[in-house]
Amino acid sequence: MRYVIVGTGAAGATAARTIKRMDRDGEVVIIGDERFFPYNRYLLTEFLSGAVSAAELFHTSEEFFEAMDIRLRKGQAVERVYPNDKTIRFAHNEVMSYDRLLIATGRSPSLGPVLRPYAKLIQRYYTFEDILLIQKRLPEVREVIVSGRGLSALDLIQGMYRVGKKITYITRGQAIDVSTVESHLMGDLDSALAEREINFVHDDRIVAIECVDNRYLVKTFQGKELWGDLVFAWDNYTPNVGCLRNTGIEVKTGILVDLRMRSSAPEVYAAGDCVEIYHPTLKNYWINFGWPNAVEQGRIAGKNMAGDNEEYQIHETTLFNILGKPLEARWWD
Amino acid sequence: MSLLTKRHVIEGLQRAKTNKAQQHRDVLPTWCPGCGHFTPLQGVYEATERLNIHPKNLVLVSGIGCSGRFPFFVKGFGFHSLHGRGIPVATGIKIARPELTVVVAGGDGDGVGIGGGHFPHAARNNIDITYLLLDNSIYGLTKGQVSPTSPFGMISATTPYGNIGYPLNPSTLALTYGATFVARVFSRDRDECTEMVTQAIAHKGFSFVHVLSPCVEFNKFVTYGSIRETIAPLPSDYVPDDHVHAIQYAESASPVYHGVLFKTAKPTYSDHMQTVFEKMKGSPTN
Amino acid sequence: MSETSDALFVAEPERAHLTSTDVLDRKWIDVNIPCKAACPVMTDVPGYIQAILEGDFETAYKINRRDNVFPHSLGRVCNRPCEPACRHGREGLGEPVAICHLKRASADFGYTPLDLEIVPNGKKVCVVGAGPAGLTAANDLAIKGYQVVVLEQYDEPGGMLRYGIPQFRLPYDVVAADVKSITDLGVEIRCNQRIDSEAQIELLKREYDAVILSGGCMLPSSVKLPGMDAHGFYWGLDFMMQANRELLNDIKLNKVVVIGGGFTAVDCTRTSYRLGASEITLAYRRTKDKMSAGEPEIDCMEEEGIEMEFLVSPVEILAKDGKVTGIRLVRNRLEEGKPVAIPGSEFVIECDAVIMAIGQTNEDLPGTKEVPEVNEVPQKDNFFLAGDFRNGSGTVIEACADGRKVARRAHQYLSGIKGYQDVVHIEEIKLDQLPRTREDDFIPLTTMPHIPVSERLAKNREVETGYTRELAQNEARRCYLCHYNFQIDIDRCIYCMACIDAMPVDCIKLAKDIDVGADGSLRYVSAAHWEEAQAITIDNDKCIRCGNCVRACPVDCISISKYTLETVEVE
Amino acid sequence: MKPPSSTSLASPSKPAGGTKAKRRDISVRFCGIAGDGVVTCGRILAGACASLGLDLMVNDIFSAEIRGKGKSTTTVRFSSRIVHSMGDGVEVLVGLAGKESIEEIKDVRPGGCVIYGSSIPGDLPEDDSLAAHVPPNIHGFGVPLRKLANQATGSNQGKNIVAMGALCYLYSLPQEAFIEQLRKNFGRKSSRALEVNIKAFTLGFEYCKEHYPLSFELEVLDTLEPRPLYTGNDALAHGALDWGLKFFAGYPITPATKIMEICAKELPKNGGWTIQVEDEIAAISNVMGAFFAGKRAMTSTAGPGLSLMSEMIGLAVMAEIPAVIVDVQRGGPATGMPTKVEQGDLNIALYGGAGDCPRVVMAPSTVRECYTGIQLALDLAEKYQTPVIFLSDLFLGQRMVTTSIPKRVERDRCTRKKPFPGELGTYERFKITEDGVSPLLIPGEEGGFYTITGLEHTPSGNPNFESNVHSMMTEKRYRKMKAMCVDLPPADVLGDKDALIGIVTWGSTLGSVVEGMELAREQGVKSKVLKSIMINPQHEDSFREFFASSARIIVPEVNYEGQYAALLKSRYGIQPVEMHISAVDPVSPAKIANRIIEVQDELTH
């Protein structure tokens, strides 16, 4: 039995470990498109600010994969899944077969049609490689511009604040837009931002970016012109489902799965930030939220792939510490 | 080039399947894509199929060089010997086992260069072997040095100021050495090449096919294009039975004629051996 | 056989060529010129793109004018079934060629009045409805020498082109230009003439040698929801027609919800934006990739700040004092690909206008239900039905295709010809006649210039400004020109694999056999081992027409030929 | 010297928080099928690194095929320190041919990287996929080599240059140095060739910049001067050309052909001539004819050619005709492994031929010695009227290194022992002398006549088969070998002079031995090595002294039977530790070091 896992994040790595524990002789291949050993993405900000060491960031190592007899293929992207042939195709055209497949590709920041043309001017803040590149650039950076929604914006602001940068935050609404955070905590958050002298541009969005003399000029819909040494911007965090396009596997924003983490194609499972899971009491599909949920989904997917039959129980809340404020974030509105 | 409909393509493939030549293949040729040697190779496949020669009775012998690989690509028994030594090896095989079909494939350097001393003797003795001389006028395996058939003035790695020697004409050599079947073909024409190889193998006696087989990798002087400009078929009324006439036509440089230059029936070395054997029959064995 | 209108417009140069009616060659076109095969009217896409590439915009226009009648309009609003089919868009090869934008360029720079010799045949045909189907039929019949009269119920001809599509996508004068090129052929259009009774039709049938009814499809789909009578509720097409007749200019819109996923739905959101709405939401029952609207239009919509909500269906329109106050929606889950409502998942979006843009149905005109299908065209004696009126709501190009089909049927009926036949012309092409180089395959897609977002509140200002000649030629260079057929002559091949060495993609392989499908399609059975390979073959479906193999072949056994299709009359 | 310039770094093996040391010693291996342009890659990278002042060594390993299945690799090792050998393992593997490169991955060091083509057309089976074989402790970088090459050149050619661009970015090497090399390589062909290659390079560079922005960094010393690059074959040919060579005859054979090609190009410039003859038999005949006529002449070949020449070498000994025969050794016997290295021709060089057949045998150890050594060979041949067999090898001949060569130019050099005017009139071609060397009159000079022959002869050259004549003449021919010791350089001792472990080796193996000794010294074990270009005859005293000062002798050489050890044992009566390295690739310094340490352990226990 060959289990192939696409994605080395929390869900993928947990699934690999779970499968291997249940099926010692099964062949487990785990594929990731980043060229580093799997790490905890939620600690990147801590790592950037020096609060967390590389050793703490990386939750796996060469020895781990060797000891578990799991074959890791890193730095290699899967381009397409062929559920009828039970094969996957890599970006480098290699075709690999599987008996059971887990898609755990996570999600990543995406740019809409307005920002897309400026992609090369926008610094991404998502992978370990991004962080290393930012570290390289940091000495020449004084001011940064952030435009994006959700908790990740707060996380980024926190990171930039800790390394001592002046921050301008552009948001479409009136206030910082974090729908997952308890509304009574929002006030705390606003004051925390205010204390830190963050330049808040509300009811606005970026419409153009230019690079002038190694600095960036950002133009907004309202006609403002802002300068920064780094620009971070995204429109949404979207599940990475490119490899499933036109495969017949059902995808809304994320991959639609049932409580056993099965997708609509036989022998294809999905878990973590790339899925939308159907919740019978909520009567809707929901996108995963947070590291613990991803770990749990990976564990359930792994168990079911190895022949068990277990249903996923949702972790409803997650605790975050942002700018010194403990925030309880819920999985849904 | 005639226009082809899709129907023609399907019919072409059916023809390829029914003539069964492809089943004489062995390993995938390692020659450069576009190499002229593919054509006589295809010729050997088709000829042995047409002549109904069972692979077990077929021996392919070669020397060194790109052409030296030939035996590996044909189903049958192969002997890849040393540089220029293909013909004597083949002679030994043929004398020991006259019932075998023996084909030697060699290049221009192998045949009229290092092994040039062997070629005349196999020819004059009319050893019943077929010698395919795959002439690309270059040393290909050593990456492009002048060869004995390279034209005057040709620049190569070892003639950086131009070749100041004159080329040999292997067809003429074969005629003067006494070969009893001499033909010349161009790798561009698969049909004719197959026909010539078939006739050569069928011929009793030393048969020689001079294949103009360009090296696409190293020879920038003798190319498909340059040969095309000078080559022409023998006149339709040409009869290949006059030795002097044949030498004249073989020597012609413009045009360079292709087709059967000379063909004559003459007892082979084996025939003479048989005569001696017959004569010795009944003699006391001391 | 005699030539039909296909050959009338564009003069082809004389080259060595042969013609074939073999199904294998006919099928080759379907498989290998995917853009042409995907086009309902089989537009000669590589033909006109090659003309643009060579700078001959006039020929490009004429090819379009011949094949799809409305190059100006379709160059802007066609739903482009050709582009997803384009070989350049396949995995690993990049983006499809912007075929539609090039069509527009052919009209922008190549428009020229037609100079056709039409021999009148003395027969008269009446077409009811001056939409794409009716006008196409009128066009085709006029070229065959019929005297054609078109009756139109509204003020101006054009049908959906005129009334169903907003001006910022398709300005009126553009539609008018296409219509004029048809009236130039002698077609007479009478506006404000509504035909809505059996008696009227009977009268026409007697007055004319043939009557074609192509009244379109304007009635909204019959969905009934509570609250539809409230002020602030619109049907999508109705909304567009009112807007296009400048009847909504004084309306106050603030929060708008548009239901639907087609072109009309997207047009409604963008029109609302221009009418001053501040919060616009598009709600669709399926997912984004299932939307039938075009990706460029959806991108423009997003640029204009319009929000989207997927997997939701409307349940009820909420109203207070006869005015719309919101809409209740229910979430869907997909079951076997179909959206199914999730009980108990309802929610409300507050709004002051709801636009239902979920498709149209045709008018129930007396006496038309009984017309039977004769040879796939609805016909009873000299009475024919065409376009959306018969087939239900479809795209412009589908309507044109149907108009053409009906015109051919009518001509066959009136002239007594036996029918039509497809003929493939195979023309020899020399290597040096290939107009492209391999480098051209790496030219990135030429983006369509747009006016900036900040200038889009002007309601009728066209958003796409069109390619320049240079941009068009640059984009044309990207086209693989799939009408070229590259083929190895198996009888002359020496199996040297020079072509395989030179191939840029996985297009040449060793084959052990060719399977011929029942439909005439060819499938090469690849050989796993050298020993079983019978031939080296070019898989034309993967071939990107770069010519590398022809250049590499030492024995010149690879030929290039150009395949063109013509439909001729059989007498 | 300024300290190395230093900026931040991302270490690939430890992704973060690891050591901050920059790479200072890197090996890059390009692997492709012949025709992929592997060699060009090596030349460009080497050229660029040499222009930056780095020390380097390049080694090519070819298959004998031109195209098709055959694989070839080029490895470039460059460093800001001295490079003695190819070392062990590589840092970077560039897989121009994916499938063929798979087996090379085992040589990639942990933390190193593999650059593979990601646009191979068709379905790539897992077994054939280079990427599938990259273990997690090595970085894999997919680059669409074929696609970008197509974009740049319109064909599949240029993958190698795309890969160069990728490498240049990934290792933060200065782009200009590479562009300059492209200019040198392609600028002469046509402006289009240069243009498309620069485009290919830039596409590879930009691709990595976009997709793999995080690059590795290399220590480049600011003060380093650009270095010249030579192969052993280059150095050898130029050494001969600078030292009076006037005639060359040869026959193409891998890996010696290059020497003939250089001579073909250069000799006519100084009134000399090169002829490519029909075989090695003809080649040695021509050389002997030219020397007979008074011109310095040479041929070059490999083992098979030397075998063919054996008969003529016998004639040269017997007829006392000078000849210089360069044997660039490859794997044997017979056709053997034309593109692989082996030191297996020592025995045929020493003993090949009929009868008592003394000849000079020399073996250079470095590229520099190829230059100086061939000059000595020409001098000895001419002065002592003897064939000299000069044993280079494929590794020494074809690898490219940065080295400084002290030019010595004497285009009309002549070491011929001319007859005194008083001898003229009674001239004897094979006159018995104290050193065995007879004065030599050449055709065209006045004073006497003679006929040389392969038959045994008297001092005047007349055939004679009497026992005492044969003894006398044989003794004369051997006496020349003793006499020439006055002209021989002494053997050198390298390493720790006081070490008890002594190593004697020959040919190109010396480089790996020196590096192996350094590795052993890092582990606290001292050793020394005796370096001598002469195999026969030798400075026997310096050898005896070296043996006396060593407790154990190690003799490493790349052949199965220990040919040099056998010579040393019989000549000096020693009992060495023999290392018979069966290698087709460069000798591993680590293996040498291990052996030194083992021997040390044996000594202490």
Domain around D252: 230-402
- Which chains are within 8 Å of A by 3+ CB pairs? C, D
Please list, in sequence order, all residues whose beta carbon lies within 8 angstroms of the beta carbon of residue C304, skipping any fewer than 6 positions away: C269, C270, C273, C453, C456
- Based on the fold, state whether residues A222 and A254 are members of the same structural domain: no
pLDDT surpasses 80 at D414: yes
Domain boundary among A218, A235, A252: A235
Distance CA C457, CA C443 (A): 34
Mean pLDDT confidence for A3-25: 94
Beta strand A87-90 pairing with A225-228: unpaired
> Which value does ipTM take for this structure?
0.76
Question: Are residues D241 and D202 both part of a single domain?
Answer: no
Task: Give the residue ranges of DSSP H helices in D427-573.
Answer: 467-483, 509-522, 540-548, 563-572
Structural domain boundaries of chain C? 5-16+31-114+422-476, 124-218+363-417, 220-360, 484-570
Do D254 and D384 lie in one domain? The reply is yes
CB contact under 8 Å between D10 and A132, yes or no, is yes
Per-residue pLDDT at D552 exceeds 50: yes
In angstroms, the Cα distances linking A137 to A144, A325, D332 are 12, 29, 57
* C552: closest chain B residue by CA: B34
Domain boundary among A174, A207, A235: A235
CA-based max dimension of chain D:
88
Of residues C92, C438, C442, nearest to D155 (C-beta): C438
Rg (chain D; Cα; Å): 26
How far is residue C256 CA from its own chain's centroid?
30
Fold of the domain spanning C484-570:
Alpha-Beta Plaits (3.30.70)
How far apart are the C-alpha atoms of C468 and C55, rounded to whole Å? 12
Asked if residue A59 is part of any domain, the answer here is yes
| Same fold: C124-218+363-417 with C220-360 | yes
* Contact criterion met (CB < 8 Å) for D123 and A36: no
Helix, coil or strand: residue A310: coil
Q: Is residue D223 assigned to a domain?
A: no
Sheet strand arrangement including B130-135: B77-80, B58-62, B101-107, B130-135, B207-212, B181-186, B256-263, B231-233
Q: Is the pLDDT of residue C140 over 90?
A: yes
List of residues 6+ apart from D416 with CB closer than 8 A: D294, D382, D383, D440, D442
Amino acid symbol at B209: V
Same domain, residue pair D364 and D503 = no
pLDDT at C223: 79
C-alpha closest to that of C353 among C377, C317, C328? C317
Give the C-alpha separation, D180 to C38, whole Å: 51
Token couple for D132:
């599938």
Mean predicted lDDT score pLDDT of chain C:
89
Position A271, amino acid: A
Which residues have C-beta within 8 Å of that of residue C327, sequence separation ≥ 6? C257, C259, C283, C314, C316, C317, C318, C348, C349, C351, C354
Chain B CB contacts of C492 under 8 Å are 190-191
A interface with C, Cβ–Cβ below 8 Å: 79-80, 93, 112-114, 205, 207, 221, 245, 250-253, 256, 264, 278, 282-285
Q: CA–CA separation, C153 vs C159, rounded Å? A: 9
Query: Hey, which chains touch B, using 3+ CB pairs under 8 Å?
Result: C, D
The helix (run of H) or strand (run of E) holding residue C411 is helix C396-415
Of D75, D95, D82, give the one whose Cα is nearest residue D32: D95
Q: Write the secondary structure of C412-432 as one string of H (helix), E (strand) and C (coil).
A: HHHHCCCEEEEEEEEEEECHH
Residue D475 is assigned to a structural domain of this protein: no
Convert the pLDDT of each residue in B6-41 to its tens digit: 888 889 888 888 888 888 888 889 899 999 999 999
Q: Which residues contact A281 (CB under 8 A, 6 or more apart)?
A: none
Tokens, residue B278? 């017959």
**Residue of C388, C339, C440 lying closest to C40 (CA atoms):** C388
Tell me how far CA of residue C447 lies from CA of C50, C101, C464, D73, in angstroms.
19, 9, 10, 44
Q: pLDDT by residue (tens digit) across C405-457?
A: 999 999 999 998 999 999 999 999 998 888 888 889 999 999 999 998 878 88
pLDDT tens for each residue of D449-465: 888 889 999 998 888 99
Q: How many domains does chain D have?
A: 3
User: Considering the domain boundaries, does residue D90 fall inside one?
Assistant: yes
Residue C91 at interface with chain A, using a CB cutoff of 8 Å: yes
The rounded percent of chain C whose pLDDT value lies above 70 is 96
Mean pLDDT of C396-410: 94
- Residues A184 and A87 placed together within one structural domain of the fold: no
- Asked whether residue D186 falls in the same domain as residue D139, the answer is yes
Tell me the two tokens of residue B26. 């062995």
Q: Phi then psi for C459, rounded to 5 degrees?
A: -60, -40
- Mean pLDDT of the region D483-506: 94
Strand (E) or helix (H) holding D372? helix D367-384
Average pLDDT, chain A: 86
Axis crossing angle, helix B6-19 with helix C23-32, rounded to the nearest 10: 110
Tell me: do A81 and A170 sit in the same domain.
no
- Domain identity same for D142 and D265: no
Distance to chain D for A128, nearest Cα, Å: 9
The answer, yes or no, to whether B and A have at least 3 beta-carbon pairs within 8 Å is: no
C-beta atoms of D261 and B161 within 8 A: no
How many Cβ pairs within 8 Å bridge chains A and C?
44
The CATH class of the C5-16+31-114+422-476 domain is mainly alpha
Dump the DSSP string for A107-139: EEEE--TTTGGGGGGSPP-SSHHHHHHHHHHGG
Select from C88, C91, C505 the residue whose CB has the most chain D CBs within 10 Å, as the one to mutate to test that interface.
C505
Pinpoint the alpha helices (H) of chain A. 10-22, 44-48, 54-57, 62-68, 128-137, 151-162, 183-195, 291-305
| Max CA separation in chain B (angstroms) | 74
Whether residue D204 is found in the same domain as residue D244: no
Find chain A residues with C-beta within 8 A of C91's C-beta: 79-80
CA distance B251 to B171: 8
The least confident of A148-157, B55-64, C198-207 is A148-157
Distance from the D278 Cα atom to the nearest Cα atom in chain B, whole angstroms: 5
Beta-carbon separation of D124 and A94 below 8 A: yes
Please check whether residues A194 and A254 belong to one and the same domain: no
Alpha carbon distance C374, C408 (integer Å) = 13
CATH code of the domain containing A192: 3.50.50.60
Nearest to residue C140, comparing CAs of C59, C58, C67?
Answer: C67
* CB proximity D573 to A under 8 Å: no
- Partner residue opposite D156 with nearest CB, options C441, C504, C506: C504
Range of the domain at A22: 2-106+240-322
- In this prediction, residues C286-296 reach a mean pLDDT of 86
CB D166 within 8 A of CB D204: yes
Average of pLDDT values for D2-17? Answer: 33
Over its C-alpha atoms, chain A yields an Rg (Å, rounded) of: 21
In the chain, the amino acid numbered D261 is E
Q: Copy the structure tokens of residue C527.
A: 């050989």
Residue in the block written with tokens 């900000």? A45
Spatial distance between the Cα atoms of D63 and D75, rounded to a whole number of angstroms: 15
Residues D124, A93: C-beta atoms closer than 8 Å: yes
Contact between D288 and D388 under an 8 Å Cβ cutoff? The reply is: no
pLDDT score at C287: 85
Within a domain: A120: no
Residue D573 has pLDDT above 50, yes or no: yes
Comparing CB atoms, the residue among D124, D136, D141 nearest residue A72 is D136
Token representation of residue C184: 């130039």
Confidence at residue D457, expressed as pLDDT on a 0 to 100 scale:
94
State mean pLDDT over C485-506.
Answer: 92
Bridge partner residues of D274 (DSSP): D248
The mean pLDDT of B237-245, rounded to a whole number, is: 95
Contacts of A95 in chain D (CB under 8 A): 123-126
Q: pLDDT at position A333, please?
A: 36
CA–CA separation, C334 vs C351, rounded Å?
27
C contact test, residue of D146, D148, D150 with most C CBs within 10 A: D150
What is the number of domains present in chain A?
2
Q: In a mutagenesis test of the C interface, which of D66, D69, D147, D202 is the best target, namely the one with the most C β-carbons within 10 Å?
A: D147
Which CATH class name applies to B30-280?
Answer: alpha beta
CATH number of C124-218+363-417: 3.50.50.60
Provide the total of helices (H) and of strands (E) in chain C, helices listed first.
Answer: 19, 25
Q: How far apart are CA D573 and CA C303, in angstroms?
A: 91
Would an 8 Å CB–CB cutoff place C318 in contact with chain B? no
| pLDDT band at residue B156 under the 50/70/90 scheme | very high
Would you call A89 an interface residue with chain D, using a CB distance cutoff of 8 Å? yes
The answer to whether residues D117 and D254 belong to one domain is no
Number of H helices, E strands in chain D: 18, 21
- Distance, in Å, from the CA atom of D133 to the CA atom of D128, rounded to the nearest integer, reads 9
Q: What share of chain B is helix, strand, coil (3-state, %, to 5)?
A: 40, 20, 40
% chain A with pLDDT above 90: 46
Which DSSP symbol is given to B68?
G
For residue D393, the one-letter residue type is: D
D14 — pLDDT class (breaks 50, 70, 90): very low
Residue ending a domain, choose from D211, D244, D269: D211
Buried b (16+ CB within 10 A) or exposed e, A273-296: bbbbbbbeebbbbbbbbbbebbbb
- Interface check C335 vs A, CB under 8 A: no
| Position B64, amino acid | I
Q: Is B16's Cβ below 8 Å from some Cβ in C?
A: yes
Q: What is the mean pLDDT of residues B81-103?
A: 87
With a CB cutoff of 8 Å and minimum separation 6, the contacts of A116 are none
Tokens linked to D378: 């020409």
Report, as an integer, the average pLDDT of C352-365. Answer: 81
Whether D68 and B29 lie within 8 Å, measured CB to CB: yes
Q: Are D451 and D315 in contact (CB under 8 A)?
A: no
Chain B and chain D share a number of CB contacts under 8 A equal to: 59
Same domain, A204 and A133: yes
- Tell me the shortest Cα–Cα distance from C343 to chain A, in angstroms: 7
Give the Å distances, CA to CA, from C417 to C8, C378, C413, C571. Answer: 19, 19, 8, 5
Strand partners, A216: A211, A228
Q: Which of A288-292, C15-19, C373-377, C384-388 has the lowest mean pLDDT?
A: C373-377
Q: Is the pLDDT of residue D279 over 60?
A: yes
C220-360 architecture in CATH?
3-Layer(bba) Sandwich (3.50)
By Cβ distance, the residue of C487, C511, C535 closest to B4 is: C487
pTM of the predicted model as reported, rounded to 2 decimal places: 0.81
C188 secondary structure, DSSP code: E
Please give the DSSP secondary-structure letter assigned to residue D418. P
Q: Distance (Å, rounded) from C-alpha C419 to C-alpha C421?
A: 7
Kindly state whether A5 is in contact with chain D, defined as any CB-CB distance less than 8 angstroms. Answer: no
pLDDT of C6 over the 60 cut:
no
Q: Residue written as tokens 């606003």?
A: A190
Predicted local distance difference test score (pLDDT) of residue B259: 97
Report the gap between the CA of B8 and the closest CA in chain C (Å). 9
Asked if pLDDT for residue D71 goes beyond 80, the answer is: yes
